[in-house]
């Protein structure tokens, strides 16, 4: 007899399946990042995974690798040009403008989000074509305290996870007053270098993009390039110094990085990045900055704003690099083991009652015997097993077994849920 072949599919290149128990760690990381945001008044927002392609070409920047090389674009049957979102800020700002959130509430509008983002990149550890981020945006206010608040919230999130070996890089990219002077000086410098045509073209569109070029052949030539910090106007200098002072007062260490520009065109003034040296070349675990002109770029009113996005995938890798075990709540606290049909019906009802009372409970399915069911109980990670047969039920009790010590105690059926809640509290 010929054995039938199974037809199997694999996850697309550059993606991966998130399955238990690893998925529990991802959920814990997302929650840890979101928790400080909730406590600081940030409300949750969720946007579509695809948007008008012009939202990103205008906002993120036509000269960026994200738009020119990495964005997944598509044309609908109706002829609309769409793109899978490569980042979150432009989408969140678009949604806030569309809903007129800047008109109906106090500014800044504080929002946080979580989801998947898509870039066509060369897959490697820490760099995927679908990746997960938690982000935060504060829309409609120009205040160094707001910049500092967001950075502090990110630092507190990392610390709550037990992450220690991360560094905060900080820079200022100036504003509309001083950026043009620096831009001209940088372009003059770049025109004198031995650069390929694509890089020279990029230098004419946005010369700061060249500073972010990771190729060693380019970086070697950038020694002696003019720096933005030497061209900041007095207002930008004062603003940046206030951010630095607020971070220092909050006990947040940072490193000044005059070459930090990040990979997006919309940043102004405060720009920052979190890096972890245990991740090799993909050391950035998150970052962000101020984007005072983005709203106008996508057709909205002037709304000075600031935000960040932290990578869930890379944060998990950073935790592994440090050997940090993330605290993950047990999926199952109590596992029911019925012996016989009558016991199955009774314990199924008790499991339902326990779940409704807030106890994480499961039951052996498939008519397993005692030995098989107890193996399932052990694998579930539960602390307690509830075992019952016909004789137990005739006496109005079930057996409550501590799976750590092996101790077993009869408990009245009517008191089981109350007893479980007491023991688990």
Per-residue pLDDT of the chain (425 residues; tens, 9 = 90+): 445 555 589 999 999 999 988 899 999 999 999 999 999 999 999 999 999 999 998 877 765 677 878 899 999 999 999 999 999 999 999 999 999 999 987 899 999 999 999 999 888 877 899 999 999 999 999 999 999 999 999 999 999 999 999 999 999 999 989 988 988 998 899 988 888 888 888 888 888 878 877 788 888 888 888 888 999 999 999 999 999 999 999 999 999 998 888 766 678 899 999 999 888 877 899 999 999 989 999 999 999 999 999 999 999 999 999 999 988 777 899 999 999 999 999 999 999 999 999 999 999 998 888 999 999 999 999 999 999 999 999 999 999 999 999 999 999 999 999 999 999 88
pLDDT of residue 367: 83
pLDDT of residue 339: 94
What CATH number labels 334-424?
3.40.50.800
Q: What b/e readout covers 277-295, taking b as 16+ CB neighbours within 10 angstroms?
A: ebbeebbbbbbbbbbbbbb
Nearest residue to 184 (alpha-carbon basis) of 212, 207, 201, 210: 207
The Cα–Cα gap between 236 and 292 comes to: 13
CATH 3.30.930.10 domain locations along the chain: 22-178+232-322
How many angstroms separate the Cα of 421 from the Cα of each of 27, 300, 354, 400, 418?
Answer: 25, 53, 9, 13, 5
pLDDT of residue 118: 95
CATH 3.40.50.800 domain locations along the chain: 334-424
pLDDT of residue 105: 77
pLDDT of residue 372: 93
The Cα–Cα gap between 202 and 253 comes to: 34
How large is the C-alpha radius of gyration of the chain? 27
How many angstroms separate the Cα of 137 from the Cα of each of 21, 33, 183, 242, 315?
Answer: 31, 14, 27, 20, 19
Indicate the fold that domain 22-178+232-322 takes in CATH. BirA Bifunctional Protein; domain 2 (3.30.930)
Nearest residue to 270 (alpha-carbon basis) of 233, 226, 230, 307: 307
**Beta-bridge partners for 284:** 275
Q: Is 108 exposed, middle or buried (0-12, 13-18, 19+ CB in 10 A)?
A: buried
DSSP state of 171: E
pLDDT of residue 1: 40
Query: Percent helix, strand and coil across the chain, each rounded to 5?
Result: 40, 20, 40
DSSP state of 62: T
DSSP 343-401: HHHHHHHHHHHHHHTT--EEE--SS--HHHHHHHHHHHT-SEEEEE-HHHHHTTEEEEE
pLDDT of residue 263: 63
Measured in residues, the chain has a length of 425
Please give the structure tokens belonging to residue 331: 């999926």
């Amino acid at each position: 007899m010929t054995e039938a072949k199974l037809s199997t599919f694999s996850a697309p290149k550059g993606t991966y399946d998130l399955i238990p128990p690893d998925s529990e760690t991802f959920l814990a990381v997302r929650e840890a990042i979101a928790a400080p945001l909730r406590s600081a008044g940030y409300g949750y927002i969720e946007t579509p995974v695809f948007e008008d392609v012009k939202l990103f070409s205008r906002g993120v920047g036509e000269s960026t690798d994200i738009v020119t090389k990495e964005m997944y674009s598509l044309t609908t049957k109706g002829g609309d040009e769409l793109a899978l979102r490569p980042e979150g800020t432009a989408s969140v700002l678009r949604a806030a403008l569309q809903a007129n959130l800047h008109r109906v509430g106090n500014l800044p509008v504080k929002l946080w989000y979580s989801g998947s983002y898509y870039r066509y990149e060369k897959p490697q550890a820490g760099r995927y074509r679908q990746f997960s981020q938690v982000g935060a945006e504060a829309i409609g206010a120009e205040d160094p305290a707001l910049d500092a608040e967001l950075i502090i919230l990110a630092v507190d999130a990392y610390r709550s996870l037990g992450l220690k070996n991360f560094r905060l890089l900080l820079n200022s990219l100036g504003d509309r007053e001083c950026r043009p002077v620096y831009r001209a000086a940088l372009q003059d410098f770049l025109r004198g270098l031995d650069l390929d045509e694509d890089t020279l073209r990029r230098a004419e569109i946005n010369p700061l993009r060249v500073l972010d070029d990771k190729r060693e052949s380019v970086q070697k030539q950038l020694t002696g390039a003019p720096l933005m910090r030497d061209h900041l106007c007095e207002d930008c200098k004062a603003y940046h110094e206030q951010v630095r002072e607020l971070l220092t007062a909050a006990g947040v260490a940072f490193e000044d990085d005059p070459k930090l520009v990040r990979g997006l065109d919309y940043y102004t003034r405060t720009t920052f990045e979190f890096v972890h040296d245990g991740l090799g070349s993909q050391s950035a675990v998150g970052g962000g900055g101020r984007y005072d002109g983005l709203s106008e770029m996508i057709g909205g009113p002037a709304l000075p704003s600031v935000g960040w996005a932290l990578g869930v995938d890379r944060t998990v890798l950073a935790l592994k690099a440090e050997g940090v075990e993330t605290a993950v709540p047990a999926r199952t606290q109590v596992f029911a083991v019925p012996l016989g049909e009558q016991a199955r019906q009774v314990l199924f009802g008790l499991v339902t009652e326990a779940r409704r009372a807030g106890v994480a409970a499961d039951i052996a399915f498939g008519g397993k015997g005692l030995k098989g069911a107890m193996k399932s109980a052990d694998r579930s990670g539960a602390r307690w097993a509830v075992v019952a047969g016909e004789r137990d039920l005739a006496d109005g009790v079930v057996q409550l077994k501590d799976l750590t010590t092996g101790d077993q105690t009869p408990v009245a059926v009517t008191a089981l849920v109350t007893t479980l809640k007491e023991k688990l509290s």
